[in-house]
Amino acid sequence: MQTLVGLLLLLLIAFVGSHSLRSRWNPPPSIRRLFDSGLVFLLLGVAIGPNGLDWISDEALDRTGPLIVFGLGWIGLLYGAHLEWRRLRRAAARLWAAAFGQSIITFALVLNGSWFFLARYFPDVYSPVLFAAAVTLAACAAGTAPSTVFQLAGRPGLTRPVARTMRIITSVDDVPGLIAFGLLLAFFPAATPGSPHWQAGLALAGLTVGVGVLFGLLLKTLLVEARDEQVTLLVLLGVAGLAAGLAAMLQLSSIFVGLVAGVTFVNSSAKKEGVFALLAASEHTIYVLFLVLVGCHWTFRVQHLLPLAAVYLAARTVGKVLGGAAAHAVLGGPGGRIWLSGFALLPQGGIAVALVVNYQHVYPSGVTPLIMTVLIVGLLANELLGSRLADIPFGRSAPRNEGGS
């Protein structure tokens, strides 16, 4: 009975939380950002879980593992479905170089900083386990929340061309990190830890991509016969769940398999627009449920938290600023302080949470709770500081009219 009550409570929170994201509720911008980023729901999960009020029992949480795996596949599918080549190819090659360049610079700096710290303070932990942790933090750091540009609206330095450029950059800069994480699970499989075997790694990487392509084509085929929204939604849920579940069983990356499935579907199917509408209508409810569950499962780790979090935040900030400056040079951007636009790329999105959760499921170890805690602390810090640091390149937005509607 307690398990049933716990699951019903989770569903109620998901419904109410998703409604708050879709509503026209207009709180102060700082509060709205916490809702839009999902941090409120993650912290709510902490509050009602075993580490807080214990409203959700351990027994109930033990039964939610498949829901988290499904959420990983769904987030990957949702992200991949936005990578339609017909639209992306309109961007110039220099813009692609700028987007991926700043992401890779950030990835490299966080990877090196995290690896140096972990190797020094955890000398007794097996090296591949530490390397997986460092790659995960770097993959999480590489991307930017796509909603970042919309939160910059009204700032004097954000001209229309600059906003368009940043929208494209933030829509694709998670890709290098996702690819790196997918390759990590292929070349450093948790089932057989040790030095990578290149032939086996290539085979597992091919299997990961192949499974994603297979389910993307399966989704395309099944949706041909879907005549109404209910059937279409059931097909989407079923394919995302099957893809993520199979990836988890094979100890591959569920989010990366979902990404490949989404990319395959969107670039091969003629039935996309209706699917986009359904994905947009359902994403908030599933995302809120996923974040609440992640918060319930989160095991807080204090030891070494502050120094590693400081390394993560510093390396990521430097990476985004250097990457933004490099992008400005490549694109020949306007003068002023726009070359410091990397400060506006600090907020992180749901992909970062999904990546660290995928890592937690595949690589359970003594450092796993620490990596999860560092990422959540980093998300909160970047969300709170990102808006203020964005004043450096773009100036402050005009004060909101509290008397308006």
Q: Which domains does the chain carry?
A: 66-394 (1.20.1530)
Q: 403: pLDDT confidence band, cut at 50, 70 and 90?
A: very low
Candidates 204, 218, 214, 201; CA nearest to 260 is: 214
Q: Which of 176-180, 198-202, 261-265 has the lowest mean pLDDT?
A: 198-202
Q: Tell me the whole-structure pTM to 2 decimals.
A: 0.90
Give tens-digit pLDDT for 228-254: 888 888 899 999 999 999 999 998 999
3-state SS, residue 1: coil
- Output the DSSP codes for 156-191: TT--HHHHHHHHHHHHHTTHHHHHHHHHHHHHS-TT
- 364 Cβ partners below 8 Å, 6+ apart? none
Residue 399 carries which DSSP code? P
Give tens-digit pLDDT for 364-398: 888 999 999 999 999 989 988 888 898 888 888 76
Is the pLDDT at 402 greater than 60? The verdict is no
Give tens-digit pLDDT for 32-60: 677 777 788 888 888 888 888 777 777 77
Cα–Cα distance for residue pair 197/185, rounded to 1 Å: 12
Question: For the CA atoms of the chain, what is the radius of gyration?
Answer: 21
Q: What are the C-alpha distances in Å from 98 to residues 69, 329, 333?
A: 33, 9, 11
Per the CB < 8 A criterion, the answer to whether 209 and 256 are in contact is: no
**Helix crossing, 254-266 with 229-249: angle to 10°?**
140
Q: What is the overall mean pLDDT for the chain?
A: 86
Say what the pLDDT of residue 263 is: 95
